[in-house]
Amino acid sequence: MSTTTATEIPEQALQSATTKPTMTTSSPSSKSGAPFDLETTLTYDSIEYWAKKDPKRTALVITDKQWQVDKEAKLKGKHTVGNPKEWTVVTYEDFYALVNRFRVALHQAGIPLPKPGQRPYKILLLFAPSNRAQVLALLIAMQATGCIFLFGGRPEDFGGLKGFLATMLRLEPDIVIANRVVHTIFRTLCMTLKYKKKVKWIKGTVLTKKAPKLTPATLQEYEQHKADRAKAISLDTVATIMFSSGTTGPPSPIEITHRMLCFQAAGYAEMLQNHLGKDLYQENTTTTTSGARRDGPWISTHIFVNFVMLDVVCGGTAVMQPMGIAAPDKTVDADMLLTVWDHFNTQICSAPPALWTRLIKLKRQRDQQPGNKPLVQDLKLAFVGGAETSASFARDMAKEFIRPSQDGSKSGVYRVYGTTQVLPIAMASDTEICQAEDAHRYCEKGYGVLLGSVVDGLDVTIDKEKFESKGGKSKLAMASLPDVEIGELCVLGEAVSPSMEIASQPSGKVPTYIFRSGDICYLEPTTQNIYFMGRMAQAVDCGSEMGKVPPVGVEMVALETKTVHRCAFVGVPRKDGTVSPTLVVQFEDPKHGDVEAARKAIRTALEGSVWAPILKHCSNLSVVVYPKVWPVDHRHSSKTNRFMLRDWAAKTDSKKFHSV
């Protein structure tokens, strides 16, 4: 069963709407093992490659339809398996046709094809198609037409719908796709704000209808487009403009180029290669114990659409969860997600903390029912969004959903920062060592912009005015404005591979894409090396002095200390003008918190990592216990409000601080 087939648009139109892939297939990507170079292949071309190589392989499994559960059986504690007919299977052939259908619809709605030297049109999408497969296909189609997709995120991040639309107007969209209600609101706002730029309006329902037949003149235009497309859409062309979450101020626009999307896919594929094995891209058509046909090299379930895009770009199979499953009001039963996992033998899953919490509770209830087989025993990778997911929560996830691998591959729970943003996934758990003088030298030559200033201890803060005074309005540099106070040091410039293996010599190259390795950085005062500390313990070669050791971020000590519930690293300003690096901890049980155990865990983590050589420079590193309700950002419940922690620590009696 599939949502769309190639017969929905004329075969001649489909053939004319396609372009020849630009990827090189002679040699696989050296890092990810992919059959073509992911770092230089546009998203649309990657989809085309898989559609032609293995057209019947399953790309997507859609579960947007109502999930059927026997209510009487549910009341008795018995959960029935959902009807497989409620799942819509989309092959790569069908998905490729769906993308092309939207390409044709966009063109016939009045969006011209890109031409060399032409300014890309900015499209603001305020219309959601009926299911997530169409959402994904429409996004890829807009990229393939050379347009810039404006993505603003949630209206509440902008103070409501009016603030959201006003912010979008500042980006000066050329085309707005919306339904009738939003269209009316938007036009009223344009008149209120006296917005004079002419905007083309397209009804969203027009795009989802069956594409009409193309005229000979249009077909000839598509033939010309096949020759012009490679020149019109380069890797450095902007594909998307999105916004930062606004934790530290008004949401800032971020320009995402096609090259950045390519690096994201390459980083994701490399991470899968490291965790799922060397045979990642070999054909693997098997049947699971539950009878489901497994077509892709891996099966994943994701809440976030950008993760799904990475899966289909890399040739995997993604189970797309229904809209609303992650909503706090529980509009969609999470029981369905567990059943889908078991049916399709899922190996990877990403979800926000709120949904993981419901899944943990639900799984425990099901496993405790007499006669029920334990569910979900073999997830290899679990991603949880939110910068400050508690360590105890991560431990619960690992206990319930992750089982030790029997084949030598790696398994684990990843606490990823910015899962909803288009950033390289592998970079969120990676570590890079870069010499400060090299970074400054490259930036002085114009290769990039060094953001932030390193102060005493382990604190890195961003001076926005200083950044802008140094030419920080560069389209790439804007992407690096941080959402958190601590540890954001971003350098932009020459391209490097998003490898998870670090050379023995410090790298002087500066990446052209955004490189954010975690929330903790350190400038070693003797050698002036900048240490980027990732959240996960990846082995890194630090040279002959230390050999290969795991870089353990300080905040990860909570995972090793069961009495610690959450912790955050802050730089506490002192009266003498210095900044004291401080780990603020919250215990599982405030009455029985073991400060000494936390101190020992920190010391152990530091001594067994790349932090060891710099311990002598951290004589003022301390621990303080936070006795109140853990502060979170009012717009992002999963993020720690570091400013409140820092201000509280600055006012706290110094006698309550314990030296590490």
Tally the C-alpha atoms within 13 A of residue 618's C-alpha that lie toward its C-beta.
24
Tokens 């590490």 correspond to what residue?
Answer: 660
- The whole-number average pLDDT for the span 280-308 is 60
- CA separation for the pair 513, 429 (Å, rounded): 16
Q: What is the pLDDT of residue 47?
A: 92
Task: Phi first, then psi: give them for residue 445, nearest 5 degrees.
Answer: -80, 0
Q: What is the pLDDT of residue 268?
A: 72
- The whole-number average pLDDT for the span 291-315 is 73
Min mean pLDDT across 190-199, 478-487, 545-554, 577-586 is at 478-487
- CA separation for the pair 121, 143 (Å, rounded): 11
Mean pLDDT of the chain: 61
Task: Phi first, then psi: give them for residue 464, nearest 5 degrees.
Answer: -65, -40
Kindly tell me if the per-residue pLDDT of 419 is higher than 60. no
- Residues 33 and 51 reside in one and the same domain: yes
- The whole-number average pLDDT for the span 628-656 is 73
- Answer yes or no: is 1 within a domain: no
- Residues 227 and 352 reside in one and the same domain: yes
- Residues 474 and 585 reside in one and the same domain: no
- Provide the domain count of the chain: 3
Tokens 């062309």 correspond to what residue?
Answer: 237
What CATH number is associated with residue 310? 3.40.50.12780
Domain that holds residue 562: 554-659
Could you give the percent of the chain with pLDDT greater than 70? 43
- Residues 279 and 262 reside in one and the same domain: yes
DSSP element (H, E) containing 365: helix 353-368
More confident call, 15 vs 54: 54
- The whole-number average pLDDT for the span 611-637 is 64
Task: Phi first, then psi: give them for residue 505, nearest 5 degrees.
Answer: -95, 140
Among 145-154, 446-455, 492-501, 610-619, name the most confident range: 145-154
- Answer yes or no: is 536 within a domain: yes
- Residues 240 and 278 reside in one and the same domain: yes
- Residues 511 and 560 reside in one and the same domain: no
- CA separation for the pair 232, 148 (Å, rounded): 13
Q: What is the pLDDT of residue 270?
A: 67
- Going 265 to 268 to 273 to 276, the CA torsion angle's sign is negative
Q: What is the pLDDT of residue 535?
A: 30
pLDDT digits (tens, 9 = 90+) for 145-164: 888 888 776 676 677 777 88
Min mean pLDDT across 7-16, 175-184, 211-220, 342-351 is at 7-16
What CATH number is associated with residue 563? 3.30.300.30
Helices 132-144 and 43-53 pack at an angle, to 10 degrees, of 120
Kindly tell me if the per-residue pLDDT of 328 is higher than 50. yes
What residues form DSSP beta bridges with 201? 176
Work out the end-to-end distance of the chain between its first and last CA atoms, rounded to an integer number of angstroms.
60
- The whole-number average pLDDT for the span 313-340 is 71
- Answer yes or no: is 357 within a domain: yes
- Residues 397 and 463 reside in one and the same domain: no
pLDDT digits (tens, 9 = 90+) for 517-565: 333 333 333 333 333 333 322 333 333 333 333 334 445 555 556 677 7
- CA separation for the pair 397, 393 (Å, rounded): 6
Q: The tokens of 24 are what? A: 């090189």
- Residues 249 and 384 reside in one and the same domain: yes
Q: How many CB atoms lie within 10 A of CB 17?
A: 25
- If 0-12 CB within 10 Å is exposed, 13-18 middle and 19+ buried, where does residue 406 land? exposed
Q: Band of the pLDDT at 404, cuts 50, 70, 90?
A: low
- Answer yes or no: is 208 within a domain: yes
- Please, are residues 523 and 532 in contact by the beta-carbon 8 Å criterion? no
DSSP characters for 186-215?
Answer: HHHHHHHTT--S--EEEEHHHHHSPPPPPP
Kindly tell me if the per-residue pLDDT of 387 is higher than 70. no
- Residues 492 and 563 reside in one and the same domain: no
- Please, are residues 589 and 559 in contact by the beta-carbon 8 Å criterion? no
Q: Which of 516, 551, 586 is the last residue of a domain?
A: 551
More confident call, 130 vs 484: 130
Kindly tell me if the per-residue pLDDT of 93 is higher than 70. yes
Quick one: DSSP state of residue 113?
A: P
- Answer yes or no: is 423 within a domain: no
Q: Which of 506, 529, 551 is the last residue of a domain?
A: 551
- Answer yes or no: is 422 within a domain: no
Tokens 């288009």 correspond to what residue?
Answer: 422
One-letter amino acid at 598 equals A
- Residues 542 and 581 reside in one and the same domain: no
- CA separation for the pair 557, 637 (Å, rounded): 22
- Residues 233 and 113 reside in one and the same domain: yes
Q: The tokens of 492 are what? A: 């932009």
Q: What is the pLDDT of residue 277?
A: 65
Q: Which of 354, 382, 415 is the last residue of a domain?
A: 415
Q: The tokens of 599 are what? A: 């101190």
Kindly tell me if the per-residue pLDDT of 617 is higher than 60. no
pLDDT digits (tens, 9 = 90+) for 423-449: 222 222 222 223 344 444 444 544 433
- CA separation for the pair 463, 620 (Å, rounded): 24
CA torsion angle for 171, 174, 180, 184 (degrees, to 10)? Answer: 60
- The whole-number average pLDDT for the span 500-516 is 27
Min mean pLDDT across 106-115, 328-337, 575-584 is at 328-337
More confident call, 193 vs 531: 193
More confident call, 163 vs 46: 46
Q: What is the pLDDT of residue 447?
A: 41
Kindly tell me if the per-residue pLDDT of 69 is higher than 60. no
Tokens 């696989």 correspond to what residue?
Answer: 28
- Answer yes or no: is 425 within a domain: no
- Residues 147 and 272 reside in one and the same domain: yes
Rounded to whole angstroms, what are the CA distances from 476 to 181, 255, 351? 35, 7, 28
Rounded to whole angstroms, what are the CA distances from 143 to 55, 330, 472, 642? 22, 33, 26, 37
pLDDT digits (tens, 9 = 90+) for 230-271: 667 888 788 888 775 554 445 667 677 787 777 677 767 766
DSSP element (H, E) containing 393: helix 391-401
Q: What is the pLDDT of residue 92?
A: 92
What residues form DSSP beta bridges with 61? 89, 319
Kindly tell me if the per-residue pLDDT of 501 is higher than 70. no
Kindly tell me if the per-residue pLDDT of 335 is higher than 80. no
- Answer yes or no: is 154 within a domain: yes
Q: What is the pLDDT of residue 288?
A: 41
